[in-house]
Structure 1
Amino acid sequence: MSATESESPKPTPPVPAPPRVPGPPRVAVAPAAPSAPTIAGAADWGRVTEDGTVEVREGDDWRVVGQYPDASGDEAIAYFVRKFEDIAFKITTLEQRHAAGGAPAGELTAQAKHLVAEVTDAAAVGDLAGLRERLDVLTASLAEASAQEAEQAKELLDQAIAERTVLVERIEAIAAGDLAKAHWKQVTAEVTELFDAWQAQQQNGPRLPKSVSQQLWKRFRDARATIDRQRRAFYAELDETHKAARDVKARLVERAEALAPRGVDGIPSYRALLDEWKAAGRAGRKVDDALWARFKAAGDALYAARAEQSAAEEADSAPKIEARTALLEEAKAVADEPNIKRARALLTNIQRQWDDVGRIFPRDKERALDDKLRVIEQALKAREDVDWKKNNPETKARVGDMSQQLLDAIEKLETEKAAAEKSGDKKAAAEAAEALEARRTWLNALGG
């Protein structure tokens, strides 16, 4: 349905939804605040003029909220009562979120302000003043909660600064010690633990003021750098033990460079050499960097050849992509074709042309195009399934049998009802009437 405010042109309401088949009653959960008015009690807050104009009472005045032409007064009132219920539901939800806790008061305050604007001059029928009073109470409560949150945030910030300072003092104490006699495995583990703790506090704790954060980080970074320099100096003295690794890696470089003439076909062998490189151990940072630069350059040449091949394949695929894109445009007509058989014939023809286009590179572009066609295919398949179920002779026969059974039952109940009324048995007549109503509803649901 649609309705407009008084200054907008009159809309044409869409066809209302069909009546629901009676079912088990819903279990309603009572909101924390007073519920919105029912349609039966809407006359206390709204009224409808002969031309479909709906007004809401605010105090002693009436305000136009919109029009609902070509409908009964109850339908018009019901529409704007539902608008009121929507707003009331939002307020109730916000009240419950605030009561439950967990959501920041600032966020809830912004939502409350939005609801205040929504209630003001709302195109709805109900106790709007009551909603505004609830929002006033909620806004005041949120303001108090925001103040409490600010105090808690300050306490958390002070605690975070103290914890970060403890980490700085611990790593500075390590850097100031006699690192020449340090057990480096233990020292490295301790420094790593401190750095992990620093990162955890930085990621999960409150945001520190920039000046404080930078000052603490500079102290932490400088102490960590001092330790790292001492550790590198210590391991530099172990260079003699790295000679074997240097020899192994030098031979790996030569074998990698020899793969260049093989181009793309040399990539699997290069990957195997890379595994050997990783297993060769360290050969000292400077030597490692120099050897790695040559080893990587050999691999880059192989991968550059693969990139050129991929570029050529992509260039070859460009017209294929255009062809399949054009087929996708044609395939849009499948959804617009009301005749399912003709739609299937159209899609089959497109699928045949689709396969004739051939493979497309890179494969992710091919998959993206295939996915779009698959959506069209699945939509048509769904239409075919619905059509089959609708026109399946067995289904029609079952529906016909059930309809006939209901008609027979209705005829019998009408006879029983007439007999009960004639004999003056009011109870039997009422039971027969109730049974008649249920079976007529079932018959209507079957289309009988």
Structure 2
Amino acid sequence: MSSDPWGRVDETGTVYVRTAEGEQVVGSWQAGSPEEALAYFERKYEGLVVEIGLLERRVKTTDLSSKDAMTAIAHLREQVDAHHAVGDLDALRTRLDALTSRVEARKEERKAHKARQAEEAREAKEKLVAEAEELAGSEQWRVAGERLRALVDTWKGLPRLDRKSDDELWHRFSHARSAFSKRRKAHFAALDAQREQARQRKEKLVTEAQALSGSTDWGATAARYRELMQDWKAAGRAQREHEEDLWQRFRAAQDVFFQARGEVFAERDSEQRENLTKKEELATEAEKLLPVTDLKAARSAFRSLNERWDAIGHVPRDARARVEGRMRAVEQAIQEAEEAEWRRTNPEARARAAGLTGQLQDAVDALRADVEAARAAGNTAKAEKLEKELAGRQALLDQALKGLQEFGG
């Protein structure tokens, strides 16, 4: 018979292990000496020690789930309780008990942490919902729209709550976004409708202006053209893609009439030169309104200047384009300022602003090249005329660049 502190082998080859509850049969050994039997079952014990040590490290250093940890503990406990090893089995049971307590404690910690996370997620989502509901009534269409999109991204990054709570909060959040979208759509639809009404009104004004262009009733027709101009201004802005074409047709019809009248009244050159002086003074006064810093004041001042302008009468043909171009440049700058104010509520306007800036830049570059060419050719008069046109275009470009900067560049 052979034995050690934790086990023995009797004369029949039966192997025993000593435990706090007394000796337990480990197994029967008939293949060799008792020492070999004890060594074999001691190695099985050492294997259990290694497995328990590995599991202890996994529990301590990894995010092993409580369920998997408890399954592994139960499996090792079954092996220990089967008494198929020789060694301090009671010590292994004590380690497994301690490991079980540690796993259960970590399970509770994770449960509490998960509960805290859920509460934090709930609070965060409730804040998102509250902000979305507040934004639903905003008229800052671009800013509010961008913020709502950012809130959606934030929502997606938060953990889900229980299904009922999450669905209820999402329903409120989604309803707020939908309400804002409907209001924004209605707002821009109303703007589109207003611009369509303006287009239709201006089409009628163009038609009447064209019908009057061949009239020789100089006084009455000129007066009517002034009334048409006031109607034009009162009609408001048409869609951007139609406004310039309508204006060119409207102005072209007037030009036909006033050109004919100018030819008939050629003998009034003296009066017309006086008119030119007055209009140049008005143009100079109008140009002082640029750059536009107070839109309402600039619009009112220009309206007054324009009324005085219209009251002055005709100027010599060769000076008309130049002096009218100066006033038109100021008027367009004011219109661009008005358009910039509208664009701030239109999320699609930035690309169009960039396009306009490019077109104006091309026009400025072309005029600058023409000025240089005229000076190179020794044509000082033409160069001076082109420089004044260039100044008007540059003012427009500066205004357009300022409007583009409102979109962040």
Q: Shorter-chain TM-score: what band? A: 0.3 to 0.5
Q: TM-score, normalised by structure 2?
A: 0.41
Q: Which has the larger radius of gyration?
A: 2
Q: Structure with the greater relative contact order (CA < 8 A, sep ≥ 6): 1 or 2?
A: 2
Instruction: With the length of structure 1 as denominator, give the TM-score of the two structures.
Output: 0.38
